[in-house]
Amino acid sequence: MLLLVGRAGPFGARLSEIVEQCDLPKPTVRRMLLALVRAGLLDQDPETRRYYIGPEIYVLGTLASARFGIHPISLRSLVRLSQETGDTAFLSVPRGVYSICVHREEGPYPIRVHALHAGDRHPLGVGAGSLALLSALQDHEVEEVLAANAEVLAEKYPNHSPSVLRTLVQETRAKGYALNPGLILQNSWGVGVPIRGVDGRPIGALSIAAIESRLSEARQREIASLLKKEATWIEMRLSEVGTTDKPSRKKTR
C-alpha cells in the first residue's frame, strides 16, 4: 500500500484506486491505511480524502540511504547520462527475483517515454536495466529466476516468456549491453548495463529509454559505451566508500 500511494506521486491516491490495485476488501484497506496514517507513514488530506506519503517515510529513507549507497552515488552519473543523450536515464536495483527502479532522470529531448517510473517493480529480465541484471547472473541463477517468475510472466508479461528471456540473455552477453526493443510499451526502447559490486555480482543497472527512432543500432552502441563508462565510475566510487566505511558496515549487518 505504501508503494501504491508513493507511485501516485504529488496527486495522491484515492481509497477506491488503492482497493482496485491491491485486490483486498475495502474495509481491510481502509483499516490498514488509517494505521499507516497513525504511524506517520501516510498522510490523508481532510478535504479530498486522498492519501499521500507521510513524514516518517522521509526519515526511513534517510536511514536506508546509508545502506543502499548506490542511489546517491549514482545521481551524478544519471544526470550526465540524461543530459548527454537527451533521453531518460534510470537506476534499477535487484530485489530477489525482481528489479526495482529507484530513480528516473529526465533528459531535455521533448518526446519522452513513460514505461518506467521510480518505484516500479518488474520481474528480472523485463526492461533494459532489468535484463542487464538478469544477464549478469550465472546460468543456474537465471534458470532459478525464470522458474520463480514463470507464473507472473505468463499472466502479465506475454512478450517475456522464459524462452524469449533466455534468448535475450544470450544476445545481451554477446552484445555487451541489454536491449529492450519495445517489449513492454510499443515504441519505447531501452539500453542497459549492469553495475557490479566488488565481488563481481550485479548490484544495480543503468539504462536509457527513448523512442524507437532514436535508438538505431549505431546509437545503441554509442549509448552502451556511455552507460558502461558511468557504471565503471559508480563501481569505483562504491569500492572507495566500501573501503573507508568497512567497519561501520559490519556493525549494521
Task: Give 253: exposed, middle or buried? Use CB within 10 Å, 0-12, 13-18, 19+.
Answer: exposed
Residue 135 CB partners (closer than 8 Å, separation 6+): 142, 168, 169, 172, 173, 178, 194
At 67, is the pLDDT very low, low, confident or very high (cuts 50, 70, 90)? low
Listed in sequence order, the residues at least 6 apart from 242 whose beta carbon sits closer than 8 Å to its beta carbon are 198, 249
Q: What is the pLDDT of residue 187?
A: 87
Measured distance CA(149)–CA(156) in Å, rounded = 11
Q: What are residue 99's phi and psi, to 5 degrees?
A: -120, 135
Burial letters 56-90, b for 16+ CB under 10 A, else e: ebeeeeeeeeeeebbbebbeebbebbbeebbbbbb
Question: Which tens digit of pLDDT belongs to each residue from 205-224?
Answer: 999 999 999 999 999 999 99
What is the Cα–Cα distance from 215 to 206, expressed in whole angstroms?
16
> Tell me: the pLDDT tens digits for 102-130?
899 999 988 877 778 888 889 999 999 99
Interatomic CA distance for residues 12 and 14, integer angstroms? 7
What's the pLDDT score for residue 151?
94
Please check the confidence at residue 69 and state whether its pLDDT lies above 90.
no
pLDDT given for residue 64 in this prediction: 63
CB-based contact 105:125 (threshold 8 Å)? no
pLDDT at 132 over 60: yes
State how far the Cα of 12 lies from the Cα of 53, in Å rounded to an integer.
Answer: 8
Q: What is the pLDDT of residue 244?
A: 39
